[in-house]
Structures are given as C-alpha cells and as structure tokens.
Structure 1
Amino acid sequence: MIIAIGFGFRISTTLFTPLLYPDSVQYLYLAQEIQNGSFFHADYNLDQGFLHSRRLPPLYPFLLALAPGLTNYGEYIGAWISILFSLATFLPAFWLGRRLDSPAAGLLAAGLMTFPWFILRYASPVLTEATFTFFFTLALVMGYRAMDRKTAGAFALAGAFSSLAYLTRDVGITTVFVTGFFAAVRLALLDRIPWRRLGLFLAVLFAAFSLCSFPYWLHLRVHTGHWGLSSQVGNRTLGEYIMLYGGSRLDRDRLPGREEGTDSLEEATRTGEPAEPSLKSLPALAFKVLALSGDYAAAFNKKFGWFLSSILLLSLASSLVGMFRRAPTRPTVDELYFWVWILHFLALYALLTPYMVDERYLYPLTAPAALAGALGVVRLARRVGGRWFANSPGVIPLASGLVIVTAFVTLWPDFKIHYLRMSPKTLELKYASGYRKAARFVREHGLIPPGKTIMARKPFVAYYLRGQFELLPKTVKEVEQAAVQGKADFLAVDTFTLAMTRPLLLPLAYPDQPVPGVRVIYNQVFPEYRRVITFYDLKPSGPEPSCSSEHRTAAQHLRAAGLYLEQGRIYEGLVEARKVLAQNPEDVTARGLVMDAYRQYYLHSPSGPIPLSLFITTIKDYLEVNPDDRQVQQQFEKMMRLVEEVAPGVYMKKSNMH
C-alpha cells in the first residue's frame, strides 16, 4: 500500500518537473556508447565525449544501456529506472527499521519517504540520485546482516553491494570501510570471535568489493595509463581538492578560475592549471570540514523540511544520551554504526568539495534520515505510552499517524504549488522545457541535420538533435567571433535560460535584429513554458529561403502572417507582415500583426525591459497610424499603469503618447 502511494506521487511529479538535467545527457550518451560498443574500444578517450568528458562511474549508464530504444526514448527509460529504484529503497528502509527497533518503525520510515518534495524531485529524473540511494541504503542493510549472521557469504554480499554503491557514484567507496571498521569493533570486542575468523571475514568483505570493482579499475588503467579509484579526478588531484577551501556557497568567486567566468571548480581545473591548495595545516582542514558540514546540513534541513529535520535531531539526541548512559553493548554499537553511516557521508562531501556545492549531493541521506526520524517517534511513543496508557498497543500507530499528518501539513506549501495548481502558469520552469518539441520540428523539417555542432547554454537541444555541444559565450561579440571562427554550426537560445544565465544575450531570443552574418531558421513561442526558443544558422549558404512566395498579394501575406502568429511562429509572422509594410507603411492590419507579435513575445516570456520595450515601441507605431482604435488605446493605457506600479518612471516617459 505504501509503495503504491509512493508510486502515485512519483508518477505525478513527472508531469511538471524535468526528466533531463545537464548530467542526464552525459549518462544517456555514455549508455549509447555502451550499446554500440565504442565504450570498449582501446582508443576510447575519456575526455572527448558529448560534453568533453566521459569520466563517469559506469553502473548507471550500464543500467540505461540494458533498455532498447534509448536513442529516442532515453529520458523516459531513465525516469522509469529512477522511479523503480526510488520505490525499491522502501524495502531496505523497512528492514532497517525492523532490525533496529520494530516493524512499526520500518513502516513509518517508508511512509515518510512517500511524499516529501525533496525526495520526489530527484526520484524520477535521469540522474544517479535514486539508484545510488538504493545501493547506499542496501549496503547498510548488508552490513548489519553480515554482523548478525557471521558468515563469509554474508560478508561477501556486503562487499558486493558496497561495490555497487561505489560503481554508481565514486563517494560510495567509503561504505566498505565503514562496514569493515564496525564489523571489526563489534565482532572482536562484543561477540569475541577469534581473530583468525574475524580476519577471514574482513578479507572476504574487501575481496568481494575489489572483485566487483576490478573491471572499473582496469578500465581506468587502460584509458588513463595509471591505476586509480576514480575517473573524475586523479589520485594527486584528489589531495588538492581536499586542501582547497572556498568559503560558503556565496564565496564561489574566491576560487581559482572563477574570475574567468567558469561555472564550476571542475571546469576551472580542467581548463587551466590545477588549483593551488589554500589550506596548509590539519587544523585548517578540520575547520573546513566542520564549516562545510554545517553548510550542507543547513541546506539539507531546508530542503528536507523543518519538521522532519526536527524529529531527526531529537532521535539523534536521544540515541546519544542512551549510548552515553549505558555500557557498550551490541545494540549500542549497532546504533552508533547507523549514525556514523549518516554523519560520515555528510563529512565526506565537506572534505571533498571546496564549498557547499548543492544540497542534491546529500540526497542519499533521505532514506536513513527518514528512518532516523521514525526511530525517534516510535521510541518516544513507546516511552510515553508505557507511562500514560499502560503500554496500549494503539499508541505507536496513533503516534505514527500523527507524525505522517503533521509532516504532510508542514510540507503543504510545496504540495500547494506543485500539485494543486498544475496549470501552464505555474509549471516549474526548467532549462529543458520546450526544447524537445522545438528539436522535433527542426529535425522533421531538415533544418539541422545530425552530427552538427550546436552552441547553447545547456546541452539538451544538442542531445535531441544528435549533435555535438558547444558552450554559449557571454556576450554578443563573443558569439559573433565564435561564428566567424567556425566553432559551431548552429545557435540555440531561449528567453528563460538567457534571462537566468546570459542576460547580455537576451536580445538574441527575439530575432528582430539578429547577429550579422547568421540566419534565423526557427522561432517559436511556447506559452505553456513562458519562453521563446530561437535557432540560428551560423554558417548560412545560398540565398535565404523565403517563408512564402514573393508573388503573393498583400492579402495573402497578411493571411499567412496571421496563421504563423496563431501557431506561435513569431519570426515568420513578422517577415510576412513586414513584406506588406515594405510596400505600404501605412497598412493598419500589418502594423496590428506586428504589434500582436511583440505582444506575444512580452506575454509569454520572462518579464524584463527587452520584450516590454519592443512591445511599447510597436504599439506606439500602431496607434500613431490608427489613433481611433480605442480598444488598443485602452489596453495600452492599462498596461502602462501596471508598469508604472512595478517600475515607477522607468517606461512611462519613454512611452508618452503625446
């Protein structure tokens, strides 16, 4: 029942959240290379992939590669894989709850994993989050199982599943060491098994881990020339990362390479000299770990929800008090193993990153965190129930139900935004929105053939068009230089992405005055995503294709312009209307169509001075020719009053009708 409810929430989330992120495209391309066999070639270059890098852990792309139809339906295949692994995580969470306390704790943990927005947000995209969370939690389960059964087979399974976590994400390598350490402590000090037998168990644990991981290590040896544990950074560079500290997330500009406008430390170190370590002593390193652990914990608390985080902290406090008040026992070590499993992962990212990069890195802690909260609630209910209700069997279910309801109420703002108002105006805007439709139109009409290099801010359109990706520069001059130098064949821009990340390039999305020497081949308004998407041909050859026959009459041009505008193809509509204005500048209908074109630009784009100023200019031109149109005059005056309320004095002077 709980899994069915969780499945419903996860499926509904896919209706208004993206399935593709920039990392997703890398995984999908790597999976396609696994399918076609190029991944296994001796000349396979780790630094010449779709996004100039194939340095990714292999397990998740291999899972994607198992499915047919990856080229056309990759995002849907990846979404199903993520959803299934997210739901499968309920099972180890339930087992852990039953193992550490009772079935009620396991059921409550599964219930708390069904609906929090932070869990749902990354439960369906084509990312490693859901898959790694499953193997990360399952490795913890297998660690407990190995310590309970005390057999070589159980330790072999623990090592194998720790390897699967590591092969999904490199940071999973620590799971085998945490399991080995606590197995040694518990079996030697509490269970008092012979040292020879303990050594055998630990040897089997690490041997199984190494055996499962060896193909990956061999792959690194063949393609990098040296043995290593990660393809993303070398062993030497890893030490430099550890000793690098960039302060809080707001201090990113202090990092080496940020002054060059790079988007990440990885990009800065890959494109230039290795970053100079900023920490010179162990106390400074300890301060970095503590400071960034606090930053990551605060970010996790914000996303996970204050109520769930509160019961998590209460559970941690009660566990620590209980451990210090009694002598070390087997349950005490088991409890400590669970909390170290959570806290070591938090400290690990604080150690390996120079600043708090993204709360998404802590997504694998959602299952253990939900379980920790469930343990605290069940134990508190048992204590209170035993004192007030004489151990009534209904106390724990009642407390669990109250916690579920309270958690849902505290997360209500997210549900109100994302679930109850599923309309075009409240869709969550993401960088990929609209590009699949745009790419399908361009591909079906033969405007961009496969294999071409496409310059864009994000790699989605290059993936959909089966081309190569080139990063969009920051200024129009740099775009012109890139076009002259032949760095790319086509340019893809949209109003949302440019407004968020490249504001100086925003006029390119409205091709009223495009870059000299390039040609607009596609321009479309997407009202449901509030964005305009425009494609340019950076290497046009031959005469520019006409949107319609030059022998059409003015009425035919106007009719074609109206049809284009109805379809959201603004640029083509403007071309048709301006052909009429070139012959008759006073044509009221043509001016009205031009005004309507810019009105669509303004209404269906991120608000800002560029679409608004274009709209004001065109509506003024229209009213100067046709001053008797009272309906347009009233609409214009109403709009200007609204603008004046938002930005007093900014546009009213520019648009003074007299």
Structure 2
Amino acid sequence: YAARLASIFMDALIAFPLFALARIYLSRISAFAACLLWAFFSFSLCFAPSPLSQSSFLLYLLSGIVLLHRGLENKEKGWLFGAGVFSSLSFLTRPEGIVGFGCGFLLCLIPLLGRRDSHERPYAVPIIFLLGFLLLAGPYLIAFHNQLGYWGVTAKTEAALKTQDGVLVLNSKGELVRAKEGVSIWKEYYGTLPAFAGAVWANLKAYFMVYYKTFPLWMHIVSLAGMLSLLWGKRALAFPYILILLAVTTPNYIVNVSKTHSYLYPVFPAMFICFSACFETIAKGAAWAIEKFRPVMKPVLYEAALAIVLFFTVSYISLGFYQEADANYQSPGLVGEAMMTERIFKEAGEVIKNNSLQNDVIMTRWGLVGYFANRPVITLPKGGVKEVVEYGRKNGARFLMIDTPSVLSRRQELMELLEPLGGKTVNPEYGIEVFSRNYYPDLGGYVIYRYAQQRN
C-alpha cells in the first residue's frame, strides 16, 4: 500500500515538470491543456495506483529534461548539475533511464561544436552534467561491478530477453544457470543479426498498435500536425528535448517484455504536448489572418479564443478518458485481481507472518507474499517437484507457498503440490509438511508447506 500511495503521489507530481517542458514550446494556456490531458489520461488514472516504478521514472525524467534545457539555455552550472542528478534518479528507477542520460550528454556536447577557438568551448558543460549523474549512479555502478564481476547497467537483461520464468529453470544439478554477461546474452538468444532485426521489427509493430489503439484517429492526426508545427521555426531547436521522451523507450524494442502501455509511458506526455501545439498553431494562423482584415485585434482576444477552443476540446477528451478509466476499475478482471491479492497473497502472507521468525525465508512466485509476511523471499523456480523442493532447502527456505494462479499458468509441473486442497497428502519423501491451506471456489487457493528439519 505504501508503494501504491507513493506511485499515486509521484504520478500527480508529473504535471509540474510536464508544464515546464510544454512551456518551452507553448503558451501557458496550451501548456496547461497538455497537463489536463495527462491528469485525465485513462491509462494514467488506472496505472498510477499500481506499485510499479513508471510514475517515479517519468517524474525524474521530465524534471531532468527541464533542468537540462534551462542549464544549456542559461549556461547555469547549477541547473546542469541538477539535470545530471535527476537523470541518475531516472536511471536508478528504471534501467532505460541510461538512454535519457546518454541523450542529455549528447546535447551537452553540442555547445562544444562550432567553436574554432578551443579556449571558448564550454568543456565544463558535459563534465558538470556527468558529475551530477555520477553522484548517485556512481555508487550503484561500482556496487554492480563488485557484486557481479563485470560492468553493466542492469542485471535484468537476461530476464528481459528470456522472460522472468525463462531464467528460473533449474538445470540437471537442481541449480539456476549463472547469468551471462555482455554481448553473449544477445548472441545466445537471437543467434543471428537477421533474427535480431526481425524481433525488433515485430516489437515495433506490436508497440505501435498499442499506441495507435489508445487514441481515436483524429487525435493521432492532430498530434502529428502539432509535431510538424514544432519542427517549424525556432521551436525546432528545442525539439530534441521531446525526442528524449521517445528515445528512452528504445530498450523495450530489443527485448522480450509484455507489450503494454506501461513501457510507452514517456511517449504520452510528448503526444499531449504535440496535440496542444496543433491547436495553438491553428489559433495563431487564424489570428494572423484576422489581423490582415482587422489590424486592431487585441492579443487578449486571441488568447480568449484559444482558451475556449482548448477548454471544450480537452473537456470532451478528458470526459472520455475518465469514463474509460472508470470502466477499467469496474472490470471483472481488475476486481478479480484485487480479490486474489486480498484472499490469497495477503492471507497467506499474514499466516506466515504470525507463525514464523523474522529471518524465516519463504519460497514463492509472488513477492507480494513476502511483502505481507514481512519475510525474505526466494523466487519459485521452474522444475520438477523434487528439484524445486530441494532447491528451496539448499537456499534456506523455511516455508514454501504454492497457489493455484501460478501453478495453473506458469508452474504446471508443480500440480502435485496443490493436491492437499482436495484432501490428499503430499509425498513424505519431499521433507515438507502442510502448514496451512485455503481454497475459494471463485478465485482458487493456496497451500503453505513448512520444511522439516534441515538435512545436512
């Protein structure tokens, strides 16, 4: 619940750096309209309460982009250092944040170009940005190297390629295969460059369809027109800052993760800025045309007309977003997930919490069980019953939690461990005993096993 509350809070704060970023290109009215679109965006309303990191990541990313722009425009070292710090926060929140840092660093190198005299080149600009990034990211990178023995930005690469279950398969020795490093992971998974290119193309098409189905066609047309308007004139010089929001999604196109809105989260603020830009451009064009016939037209009339058009347009879209979000909240699938969390994961976690020591380890597929039990967790691997049980014993597990959702979907080979729900006993050779069990006809159930005396 704390993670959900934090996610809601961080998602609400996104409106502030989003407004600041939109103000680089738009008037206050149009920038405010972009923020309203985000505030009522159906996926944001549904996703914000989830205990995931996308909201925090986007908040840090947008803040870093805004500070980077101000630092480069005003040549202020403090803004540049702050941009580096927020870039490191986005990277520490999600690994794709390293792409945002890379884009920002490239923008810091641009002032070094075009200066013939080397003494006039602002070498301090990229250095200050880098120092801000290393202030927080540096200790993590060093700890990563010390723990895994090689330099890298994330230990999730293999899981992102093979899926989380793919890296949890036990070998013939009943152990998990040690994760590979560097390019070897990619060579093993894709094999050839054409296979890699084909997978990337398939991912791009899948994500495009997710994005395309999110909005009606007319909104896509308006946002595309707005993007073209931002590429015209002086505003084009600042367009790379919007491109950073698109660039940070590129790691998702080269791995094997679910094709959902959450991996496109940074794209939507960029879309709303472009959407508002189209209306502002049309309003400016209309004002220019009117001034040809009525030179006395006051700017306040233009602003009022723009505000009225945006008000009705944004209100119409926001109402649709809200209705869609409300329907999602009431959907049977979401209600079922909430009930499953309450009756299976939370209930099992509390049973273990009330009947265990603080350092007792749980082996389960769900981290939520460990959260509710306030106990350390070992992730349930894939393998035969005997191998899985023995793996938990070797790694110090005291409890083994088996549930119907995970067994029926991802761990069918452990079906035998669900038999106590039907009144049967478990094979005593496994060295585990049924500690607690419960079954709900409409949701499923769980069985908590306790390991017998640890064998030497």
Q: 247, 250, 269: which is aligned to 1:344?
A: 247
Aligned to 1:619: none
Match of 1:510, SS? Answer: helix
Q: Is the 8 A contact 2:439 2:445 kept in 1?
A: yes
Alignment of 1:468-547 (within 5 A): 468-472=376-380, 478-479=384-385, 482-483=388-389, 487=393, 488-502=397-411, 505=415, 507-508=418-419, 510-517=421-428, 519-525=433-439, 530-539=443-452
Q: Deviations along 1:194-222, whole A, 9 cap, x unmatched?
A: 87243332333223333443322332344
Q: Distance in 1 between matches of 2:119 and 2:189?
A: 42
Aligned AA for 2:190? S
Aligned AA for 1:454? I
- Per-residue deviation at 1:354? 4.9
Aligned pair in 2 of structure 1 residues 480, 356: CA closer, same or farther (>3 Å)? Answer: closer
Q: 274, 277, 295: which is aligned to 1:375?
A: 277
Aligned to 2:210: 299
Gapped runs of 5+ residues in structure 2? Answer: 292-296
Match of 2:342, SS? Answer: coil
Q: Deviations along 1:376-397, whole A, 9 cap, x unmatched?
A: 3433454457668975433322
Aligned to 2:16: 91
Aligned pair in 2 of structure 1 residues 430, 137: CA closer, same or farther (>3 Å)? Answer: farther
Aligned to 2:294: none
Q: Distance in 2 between matches of 1:522 and 1:198?
A: 67
Q: Distance in 2 between matches of 1:373 and 1:509?
A: 57
Q: Is the 8 A contact 1:188 1:198 kept in 2?
A: no
Q: Is the 8 A contact 2:68 2:83 kept in 1?
A: yes
Alignment of 1:455-466 (within 5 A): 455-466=363-374
Aligned AA for 1:205? F
Match of 2:188, SS? Answer: coil
Q: Is the 8 A contact 1:163 1:172 kept in 2?
A: yes
- Per-residue deviation at 1:94? 0.8
- Per-residue deviation at 1:138? 0.8
The answer to whether residue 340 in structure 2 is matched with residue 440 in structure 1 is no
Q: Distance in 2 between matches of 1:493 and 1:123?
A: 29
Q: Distance in 2 between matches of 1:468 and 1:379?
A: 56
Q: Is the 8 A contact 2:43 2:325 kept in 1?
A: no
Q: 83, 95, 101: which is aligned to 1:170?
A: 95
Q: Is the 8 A contact 1:163 1:213 kept in 2?
A: yes
Match of 1:341, SS? Answer: helix
Q: Deviations along 1:581-609, whole A, 9 cap, x unmatched?
A: xxxxxxxxxxxxxxxxxxxxxxxxxxxxx
Q: Distance in 2 between matches of 1:257 and 1:362?
A: 24
Q: Distance in 1 between matches of 2:9 and 2:439?
A: 35
Q: Is the 8 A contact 1:386 1:392 kept in 2?
A: no
Match of 2:68, SS? Answer: helix
Q: Distance in 2 between matches of 1:167 and 1:133?
A: 12
Q: Deviations along 1:367-421, whole A, 9 cap, x unmatched?
A: 33333333334334544576689754333223323333333454466334344x4
Aligned to 1:403: 313
Q: Is the 8 A contact 1:385 1:395 kept in 2?
A: no
Q: Is the 8 A contact 1:86 1:123 kept in 2?
A: yes
- Per-residue deviation at 1:473? 6.0
Aligned pair in 2 of structure 1 residues 430, 223: CA closer, same or farther (>3 Å)? Answer: farther
Q: Deviations along 1:139-197, whole A, 9 cap, x unmatched?
A: 110121122212333322322322222232232223233224335447856x9998724
Q: Distance in 2 between matches of 1:330 and 1:373?
A: 18
Aligned to 1:182: 107
Aligned pair in 2 of structure 1 residues 192, 102: CA closer, same or farther (>3 Å)? Answer: farther
Aligned pair in 2 of structure 1 residues 290, 346: CA closer, same or farther (>3 Å)? Answer: farther
Aligned pair in 2 of structure 1 residues 99, 321: CA closer, same or farther (>3 Å)? Answer: closer
Q: Deviations along 1:512-534, whole A, 9 cap, x unmatched?
A: 2232335443233558x834333
Aligned AA for 2:61? F
Q: Is the 8 A contact 2:11 2:55 kept in 1?
A: yes
- Per-residue deviation at 1:301? 4.0
Q: Is the 8 A contact 2:80 2:125 kept in 1?
A: yes
Q: Distance in 1 between matches of 2:146 and 2:453?
A: 42
Q: Distance in 2 between matches of 1:174 and 1:484?
A: 41
The answer to whether residue 175 in structure 2 is matched with residue 218 in structure 1 is no
Q: 262, 269, 276: which is aligned to 1:360?
A: 262
Aligned to 1:577: none
Q: Is the 8 A contact 1:112 1:404 kept in 2?
A: yes
Aligned to 1:82: 7
Aligned to 1:56: none
- Per-residue deviation at 1:85? 1.9
Aligned AA for 1:295? A
Aligned AA for 2:203? L
Match of 2:86, SS? Answer: helix
Match of 2:241, SS? Answer: helix
Aligned AA for 1:338? Y
Q: Is the 8 A contact 2:190 2:196 kept in 1?
A: no
Aligned pair in 2 of structure 1 residues 422, 219: CA closer, same or farther (>3 Å)? Answer: same
Q: Deviations along 1:298-347, whole A, 9 cap, x unmatched?
A: 33444xx223x863563334433663xx6xx5421112x13421332233
Aligned pair in 2 of structure 1 residues 161, 470: CA closer, same or farther (>3 Å)? Answer: closer
TM-score after normalising by structure 2: 0.76
Match of 1:402, SS? Answer: helix
Q: Distance in 2 between matches of 1:360 and 1:219?
A: 28
Q: Is the 8 A contact 2:111 2:121 kept in 1?
A: no
Q: Report how many aligned residue pairs link the two structures.
A: 430
Aligned to 1:276: 188
Q: Is the 8 A contact 1:494 1:509 kept in 2?
A: no
- Per-residue deviation at 1:458? 1.8
Q: Distance in 2 between matches of 1:311 and 1:496?
A: 39
Match of 1:306, SS? Answer: coil
- Per-residue deviation at 1:129? 1.5
Bigger RCO of structures 1 and 2 (CA < 8 A, at least 6 apart):
2
Aligned AA for 2:425? P
Aligned pair in 2 of structure 1 residues 218, 490: CA closer, same or farther (>3 Å)? Answer: closer
Q: Distance in 2 between matches of 1:165 and 1:368?
A: 17
Match of 2:400, SS? Answer: strand
Aligned pair in 2 of structure 1 residues 297, 485: CA closer, same or farther (>3 Å)? Answer: closer
Q: Distance in 2 between matches of 1:293 and 1:494?
A: 35
- Per-residue deviation at 1:96? 1.4
Aligned AA for 2:446? I
Alignment of 1:4-23 (within 5 A): none
Match of 1:100, SS? Answer: coil
> Percent same amino acid among aligned pairs?
19
The answer to whether residue 35 in structure 2 is matched with residue 110 in structure 1 is yes
Q: Is the 8 A contact 2:283 2:302 kept in 1?
A: no
Aligned AA for 1:294? K
- Greater Cα radius of gyration, structure 1 or 2: 1
Aligned pair in 2 of structure 1 residues 373, 499: CA closer, same or farther (>3 Å)? Answer: farther
Aligned AA for 1:490? F
Q: Is the 8 A contact 2:223 2:272 kept in 1?
A: no
